[in-house]
């Protein structure tokens, strides 16, 4: 019986690969490159969330595993933002707003000028930077965030509530979905 189940799954996956692929990508944030997000925002304006990370950052990996995989966060980000994963130590140039941002070597490591610009030269990881619909930097928030802590930040930024009230006042009435 077990043998027939395995054979059936193999045959099913051969004839319907798209169905299996859809299940494996469901529940994940649709991460884009910075360039992809900028182009999409030009055509269909939406705020951009930029996760600035490094490969060696343990808290960045924890945030990926716990916060950015939480179903409420995944759904909210995918529906309301263009999400970017940006490696603060990438070597590839990025052209943005008529400026070429480059990697700056600093001994064994270095940093990317775009990461420094997004984080106001406060290079700490993880950090999340936000651009508005006009590709203007709203600001950056450093540090690891649990899903329950990120959810109100996302709503506060997405709904332009930062223009109307202080964040601590907003938190007094916020009722999230993360449990």
Q: For the segment 11-69, what is each residue's pLDDT rounded down to a tens digit?
A: 333 344 443 333 334 589 999 999 999 999 999 999 999 999 999 999 999 999 999 99
**CATH of span 27-173:** 3.40.30.10
pLDDT band at residue 137, thresholds of 50, 70 and 90?
very high
The tokens 């189940």 sit on which residue? 5
3-state secondary structure (DSSP) of residue 87: strand
Pairing of strands 81-87, 31-32: parallel
Q: Rounded mean pLDDT of 101-115? A: 93
Measured between alpha carbons, how far is 154 from 149 in angstroms, rounded to an integer? 9
| Average of per-residue pLDDT values in the chain | 88
pTM of the predicted model, to two decimals? 0.83
CA distance 51 to 59: 12
% of the chain with per-residue pLDDT over 70: 85
């Amino acid at each position: 019986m077990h043998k027939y189940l395995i054979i059936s799954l193999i045959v099913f996956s051969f004839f319907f690969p798209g169905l299996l692929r859809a299940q494996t990508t469901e529940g994940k944030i649709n991460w884009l490159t910075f360039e992809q997000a900028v182009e999409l925002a030009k055509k269909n304006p939406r705020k951009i969330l930029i996760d600035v990370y490094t490969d060696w950052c343990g808290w960045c990996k924890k945030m990926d595993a716990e916060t950015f995989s939480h179903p409420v966060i995944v759904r909210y980000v995918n529906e309301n933002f263009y999400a970017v994963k940006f490696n603060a130590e990438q070597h590839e140039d990025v052209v943005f707003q008529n400026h070429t941002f480059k990697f700056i070597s600093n001994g064994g490591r270095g940093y990317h000028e775009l990461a420094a610009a997004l984080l106001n030269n406060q290079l700490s990881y993880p950090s999340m930077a936000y651009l508005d619909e006009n590709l203007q930097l709203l600001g950056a928030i450093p540090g690891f965030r649990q899903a329950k802590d990120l959810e109100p930040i996302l709503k506060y930024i997405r709904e332009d509530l930062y223009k109307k009230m202080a964040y601590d006042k907003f938190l007094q009435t916020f009722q999230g979905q993360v449990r």
